[in-house]
Amino acid sequence: MADGGEKYKSLLKNHILPVFGSFRLCDIGTEDIQAFLNLKQEGGLSWWTRNDLKGVISGVFTKATDWGYWTEKNPALRTSLGPQKNKRKKYGLTDDQIVALINALPPVVQLMVATDVSTGMRVSELCGLKWGSIDLSRGTVRVQETFFRGKEGETKTEKSHRTLALGILTPVFAATRPANARPDDYVFQLFGKPLDDRDLLRRFVRPTAQELGLYFEGFGWRTFRRLHVTAIQNGSDAVNVFEAMAQAGHTRPETTMRYTLSQSGRREKAVLRLQEKWIPANWAGIVRGWL
């Protein structure tokens, strides 16, 4: 999937312009946009892709309003996407499975995956990481640049600019940092050029996951980001959704919740704690007395 601006350019070029490219703004109404979105649903596009399409169209009208070209209500805002459905189920990995996967990977890929599950960075942020963004004295990384499919850039949004803790990975980065490394040198690179996420998935990550019996449809870099966002919201030192949102660089809590895997075991324990406080110990006996 394209990242950041490239994704929206692709949606504009491949979906929106072929339909609305010759239209004037005043020619596009809510019914036209709704029919367009319905057609894309029939064509098999996911709820989230259609949501992105709606967002791009809405953004055009918003910008037109800012520039004084549009004074009516934004017609995209009154459209509906229907019930939200995910194409794929979201699968997680156990702690032991994560350890096994990391240990089975080549050293450079090991550190990339370990960093991903430790920080929740986007793969474009990971590939775009430069030594100047790592503060070894503080054990932190400043996320501010990206590299995605051959293109350098900044992070997806302003909120994506964030400082993350490296923890026990700090000495690993210190040990792997070349003596002559410059601030603008990429951390994960080959002959000075950043690594390609697709190549790493194809050659190392997915084959290793398959060998270990961990592979499932959709397995990839986002799997590690999802694992991180889920894990930091669990346990005795769990963060809340807004803290997880800041960690992931999301702009909306709904996005963070979408990345969070369902933790039925944790919910079950929470229910039991409430029941221990609120439900009589002889509840079963009371119920049998009613029958």
The helix-helix angle for 47-66 and 30-42 (nearest 10°) equals: 160
Domains 5-78 and 95-219 share a fold: no
Pairwise CA distance, residues 100 & 117, whole Å: 13
**pLDDT over 70 at 229, yes or no:** yes
- Please compute the mean of the pLDDT values over residues 34-62 and round it to a whole number: 91
**pLDDT score for 151:** 83
Phi and psi for 69 in degrees, rounded to 5?
A: -95, -10
Domain 95-219: assigned CATH number: 1.10.443.10
pLDDT-based confidence at residue 160 (cuts at 50, 70, 90): confident
Whether 256 and 250 have beta carbons less than 8 Å apart is answered as yes
Q: Which CATH number fits domain 5-78: 1.10.3470, 3.40.50, 1.10.150, 1.10.1200?
A: 1.10.150
What is the β-pairing status of strands 145-148 and 151-154? antiparallel
**pLDDT over 60 at 279, yes or no:** no
What is the β-pairing status of strands 134-135 and 151-154? unpaired
Residue from 174, 162, 129, 161 nearest 147 by CA: 129
What is the per-residue pLDDT across 253-276, written as a single tens digit (0 to 9) for each? Answer: 767 776 666 555 555 566 566 557
| pTM exceeds cut of 0.85 | no
What is the per-residue pLDDT across 197-216, written as a single tens digit (0 to 9) for each? Answer: 999 999 999 999 999 999 99
From the centroid of its chain, how far is CA 37? 24
- Please compute the mean of the pLDDT values over residues 244-261 and round it to a whole number: 73
Handedness of CA 195, 198, 203, 206 (dihedral sign): positive
All structural domains of the chain with their residue ranges: 5-78, 95-219
Handedness of CA 197, 189, 250, 54 (dihedral sign): negative
